Amino acid sequence: MAKLLIEGGVPLSGDVPVSGAKNAVLPILAGALLADGVVRIGRVPHLQDVTTMMELLGRMGVELALDERLWIELDPTRLREHVAPYELVRTMRASILVLGPLLARWGRAVVSLPGGCAIGERPVDLHIKGLRALGAEVELSGGYIEARAERLSGTRIVMDLVTVTGTENLMMAATLARGTTIIENAAQEPEVVDLARFLKRLGARIEGEGSNTIIIEGVERLSGGEYEVLPDRIEAGTYLVAGAISGGRVKVTGVRPEHLDAVLLKLREAGAELAIGTDWIEVDMRGRRPRAVDLTTAPYPGFPTDMQAQFCALDAIAEGVGLIRETVFENRFMHAQELRRLGADIAVEGNTAIIRGVPRLSGAPIMATDLRASASLLLAGLVAEGTTVVDRIYHLDRGYERIEEKLARLGARIRRIR
Ligand code: EPU
């Protein structure tokens, strides 16, 4: 199994281009199922999760190709299957995103229940509840969600809690419903906005995306169309932390700085100097050790749970004590144990990690447990003295495009070994 070997201690320096956002491209690819024509998607990152989504769509009968610009071309008009099988859903929870589009466009969807995962229980009850409110018949049997509807009907849905893929599934389903759907307490993440903009490009009528109330006026059909995915704010944030943790100077390019406000605030508190342009951000630590920061994760525009693990790594070598509170997922501190193997002083009490910064970490073999946890281990490895070997890096390949190449370009001593 592939591993990453890192020789720590080099302050990173240079520019790194940011790829298309994983959590935007996955719903957009699923959303292509709604179209009556060919859909072309640009800035698709080369990630394992994208490959899984394409395999899933391909099995259903979506024809996939690359055009001359290397954009992905999807032709969903000759769909044969309405099933998302367990073997694919269990490798990628985001497969649940085909549920809404399949049901709305094809009247039927059979999607495996995702089951638990490394960061928490992660039920999909609100996806199901919302689809029922839109008039679908939904049954659970044999580990599968089986949903049917002649045509969905618009309604007002108040989400019990903020869910990103739940909002996306219901927004997609509502585009082809009869009448108006109002989603209250909707997720406001930039990836939800990107999906809405893509759907509008196909002819959907959506308002309010980016606020907590999204209004969707159902239409008869959606056409084909083209769309370029937004840059990945979590990838960008991860490289900025890499700059800060290593005492270096890193510029991320091709980003939307306004999507990173909560993260930039914490980097400033940690003592980083920031320069921000229209589509780039530069972090400069001037060789200093970061100061510990406290933070609490929350739905957007709060501090993203997908950046929590990376800040645990930063606090691990910072001056002072940092309190990191996770409120989105119930079990997202798997990285704490592995960071301790590098010498970090972290105690986890309930949903809070108490991190007493130590002046140095030392290299050790460690194991990745989920995508963002893996990123935090890699960041810690960049500053640990000696050699760190991170095992099970298939988690990283799910969500970071060519991560070792990008880090090596910044001067990190890192390589992939078998
Ligand atoms: N929840 C329910 N019932 C539901 C849906 C969600 O109780 O029906 C709970 C979850 O268990 C969780 C909370 O609601 O405690 C929020 O979860 P949410 O549904 O927003 O998460 P998600 O849509 O499954 C997406 C991202 C995650 C990211 C979260 C939070 C995608 C494909 N995934 O997941 O990304 O952490 O939103 O921002 O968009 C990652 O990229 O590493 C990742 C895990």
From ligand 1's centre to the CA of 161, what distance in Å? 11
Strands 387-391 and 365-367: parallel
**Which atom from ligand 1 is nearest to the alpha carbon of 165?**
23
- Mean pLDDT over 253-273 rounds to 98
DSSP H stretches of helix in 74-163: 86-89, 99-106, 125-133
Residue 226 has pLDDT above 70, yes or no: yes
Per-residue pLDDT at 1: 83
Distance, in Å, from the CA atom of 15 to the CA atom of 275, rounded to the nearest integer, reads: 13
Q: How many residues does the chain have?
A: 418
Q: What is the pLDDT of residues 97-144, one digit of tens each?
A: 999 999 999 999 999 998 667 777 789 999 999 999 999 999 999 999
Mutate to test the pocket of ligand 1, among 122, 185, 233 (most ligand atoms within 8 A of CB): 122
The residues carrying an active-site annotation are 117
Residue 369 has pLDDT above 90, yes or no: no
Mutate to test the pocket of ligand 1, among 25, 165, 351 (most ligand atoms within 8 A of CB): 165
Per-residue pLDDT at 342: 97
Dihedral sign (CA 245, 293, 388, 332): negative
At 389, is the secondary structure helix, strand, or coil? strand
Per-residue pLDDT at 116: 65
Per-residue pLDDT at 376: 97
From ligand 1's centre to the CA of 302, what distance in Å? 14
- Mean pLDDT over 262-290 rounds to 97
State which H helix or E strand residue 145 sits in. strand 144-148
Per-residue pLDDT at 118: 75
From ligand 1's centre to the CA of 330, what distance in Å? 11
Q: What is the pLDDT of residues 4-20, one digit of tens each?
A: 999 999 999 999 999 99
With pLDDT > 90 as the criterion, what percentage of the chain qualifies? 94
Per-residue pLDDT at 331: 84
From ligand 1's centre to the CA of 94, what distance in Å? 9
Mutate to test the pocket of ligand 1, among 23, 98, 191 (most ligand atoms within 8 A of CB): 23
Per-residue pLDDT at 114: 87
Angstrom CA distances, 270 to 237, 267, 283, 378, stand at: 14, 5, 11, 19
Which of 62-71, 113-122, 391-400 is the least confident region?
A: 113-122
From ligand 1's centre to the CA of 12, what distance in Å? 32
Residue 300 has pLDDT above 80, yes or no: yes
**Which atom from ligand 1 is nearest to the alpha carbon of 27?**
32
From ligand 1's centre to the CA of 325, what distance in Å? 17
Phi, psi for 282 (deg, rounded to 5) = -120, 130
**Which atom from ligand 1 is nearest to the alpha carbon of 121?**
11
From ligand 1's centre to the CA of 165, what distance in Å? 6
* CA triple 334-337-340, angle to 5 deg: 140
Distance, in Å, from the CA atom of 61 to the CA atom of 81, rounded to the nearest integer, reads: 7
> Across all residues in the chain, what is the average pLDDT?
96
Q: What is the pLDDT of residues 276-289, one digit of tens each?
A: 999 999 999 999 99
- Mean pLDDT over 388-402 rounds to 93
Q: Which amino acid is at 352?
A: T
Q: Which residues of 200-320 form beta strands (DSSP E)?
A: 205-207, 213-217, 225-228, 249-253, 273-276, 280-284, 295-296
**Which atom from ligand 1 is nearest to the alpha carbon of 124?**
8
User: Who contacts 372 (Cβ-Cβ below 8 Å, separation ≥6)?
Assistant: 234, 305, 306, 307, 308, 309, 310, 332, 335, 399
Yes or no: say if 246 and 10 are a contact pair by the CB < 8 Å rule.
yes
Q: Which residues of 233-386 form beta strands (DSSP E)?
A: 249-253, 273-276, 280-284, 295-296, 321-325, 345-349, 352-356, 365-367
Q: What is the pLDDT of residues 145-198, one digit of tens each?
A: 999 999 999 999 999 999 999 999 999 999 999 999 999 999 999 999 999 999
Q: Which amino acid is at 343?
A: G
Task: Give nearest CA residue, ligand 1 atom 24.
Answer: 165
Per-residue pLDDT at 329: 94
- Please, is 405 exposed, middle or buried when counting C-beta atoms within 10 Å of its C-beta (0-12, 13-18, 19+)? exposed
* CA triple 44-48-52, angle to 5 deg: 90
Task: Give nearest CA residue, ligand 1 atom 19.
Answer: 163
- Mean pLDDT over 238-248 rounds to 98
Yes or no: say if 169 and 100 are a contact pair by the CB < 8 Å rule.
yes
Per-residue pLDDT at 201: 98
**Which atom from ligand 1 is nearest to the alpha carbon of 125?**
8
- Protein residues whose CB sits closer than 6 Å to any atom of ligand 1: 22-23, 26, 93-94, 120-127, 161, 163-166, 191, 305-306, 328-329, 371-372, 399
Task: Give nearest CA residue, ligand 1 atom 40.
Answer: 306
Per-residue pLDDT at 368: 87
Q: Which of 56, 69, 64, 58 is nearest to 38 (CA)?
A: 64
- Mean pLDDT over 324-329 rounds to 97
